Amino acid sequence: MVSGAPSKIDTVVIGAGHSGLAMSYCLSHRGIEHVVLERSDVANSWRTERWDSLRLLTPNWQSRLPGLAYEGDDPDGFMTVPEVIEFVDHYADVISAPIQTRTTVTSVCCAGDGYQVDTDRGTWKCRAIVVASGACNVASVPAIASSAPSSIAMVTPLDYRNPDQLKEGGVLVVGASATGTQLADEIHRSGRPVTLAVGEHVRMPRVYRGRDIQWWMDAAGVLDEHYDQVDDIKRARNVPSPQLAGSPGRSTLDLNALTGIGVKLIGRLAGIKNRKGQFSGSLRNNCALADLKMNRLLNTIDEWVSENGLDNEVSPPHRFAATTVEKSPPLDLDLSNGQIQTIVWATGFHPDYSWLGVPVLDRKGEIRHEGGVVDSPGMYLMGMTFLRRRKSSFIHGAGDDARDLSDHLTSYLANTISNADSILQAGANK
């Protein structure tokens, strides 16, 4: 169907990742006619935009979507990327999602009381639309990258596959979230000495009191915290991902682990001038803040354990050593003397909304929404950090969000139908 009249449908879901599929399941369950449009294949970004060694940050038992629980024999393990692809593929089959793959959405705009969705394979008209096209389409690289000397190779986590693709020699990894710490670890172990530029970050142990940190956050209700329960949701949505890795040995990947293998820590990259990187003198405070916040999380867990009378069932509470920072970390780094050959920009990601013609973007280019209900009637958003709950961006977070938002969508469709009916009725009664 390349040309001809637009197809009409109640709802279009954009993106067949775990979020779009969870939504598809809930819509089917509520009898809402819909199609899931996917630019490539199911779980495309897992197939094409992930590095080789990556594993999920969440243990296997947490890999659950509405209508599908983890069925394997390693509940405490962490899925590799091929396993995630298989899991999401399998989910699409199990729920018989109405997916149209290899269909790239080229524009979405308002049309009458709904939306028009143009694709490279025809046009759809719909009354409701779900944007589940992902939070990490584009690597965010700061503007100062353009000041780096041309002798320096630069790579983002979306292009990075493994250390072998990097030149021999030193590597500056910018950013110390889950991505930055994982890449710093494997690149340094490959014999390329890593300097890690550290700004604000979130420190977490992999295992605490004998259980996975995700288990604790799940049990203590931290992951279920609602977007309207937190003090400052804007801030909460911008918190970097925790320094966690899903390794088979369940080891903690914090800054102390990295300095333990020889990674050098340096402050947040603040500028590049005269072929030198300039780094903030705030490293100590950023580490102190992360230590304090981690201890607050551990306090929450300890309180939960006591309140639930579980103190005798798990190992006793303890605290981790404060992050070690050298007395006077360097404030600059020569980028032209050959010591640094590559910069890895682990400075976050952002969505690509270049196709979105509905005026819902704020001045930072983010979609205006209230817990996923977008500021345009009948439009919904899925899969963003802390969309409705702290777990929203995790695989297991998609279920609850999809249930809530599909309920909202269902009643939106019902109400607009009854409005249209009553207008017709009013017309007929004249």
| List of residues contacting another protein (CB under 8 A) | 200, 267-268, 270-271, 273, 278, 280-282, 285, 288-289, 292, 295-296, 328, 363
Q: Is the dihedral of CA 55, 56, 60, 64 positive or negative?
A: negative
Provide, rounded to whole angstroms, the least separation between the CB of residue 368 and another protein.
12
Nearest to another protein of 117, 367 (CB atom): 367
CB neighbours of residue 15 within 10 Å: 25
- Cα separation, 131 vs 254, in Å, equals 34
Nearest to another protein of 116, 177 (CB atom): 177
HSE, side-chain direction, 13 A CA sphere, residue 376: 25
Provide, rounded to whole angstroms, the least separation between the CB of residue 289 and another protein.
5
Beta carbons within 8 Å of 424's beta carbon, 6+ residues apart: none
Provide, rounded to whole angstroms, the least separation between the CB of residue 136 and another protein.
25
Beta carbons within 8 Å of 71's beta carbon, 6+ residues apart: none
HSE, side-chain direction, 13 A CA sphere, residue 351: 19
| Inter-residue contact 132 to 15 (CB < 8 Å) | yes
DSSP state of 202: -
Nearest to another protein of 111, 144 (CB atom): 144
Segments of 303-427 assigned E as strands:
332-334, 340-345, 349-350, 369-370, 373-374, 379-381
Nearest to another protein of 274, 308 (CB atom): 274
Provide, rounded to whole angstroms, the least separation between the CB of residue 366 and another protein.
13
Provide, rounded to whole angstroms, the least separation between the CB of residue 268 and another protein.
8
Task: Give the C-alpha distances (Å, rounded to integers) separating 238 from 49, 198, 199, 359.
Answer: 22, 16, 13, 22
Instruction: List beta partners, residue 374.
Output: 369
Nearest to another protein of 151, 285 (CB atom): 285
Nearest to another protein of 207, 288 (CB atom): 288
Nearest to another protein of 138, 289 (CB atom): 289
Provide, rounded to whole angstroms, the least separation between the CB of residue 270 and another protein.
4
Provide, rounded to whole angstroms, the least separation between the CB of residue 278 and another protein.
5
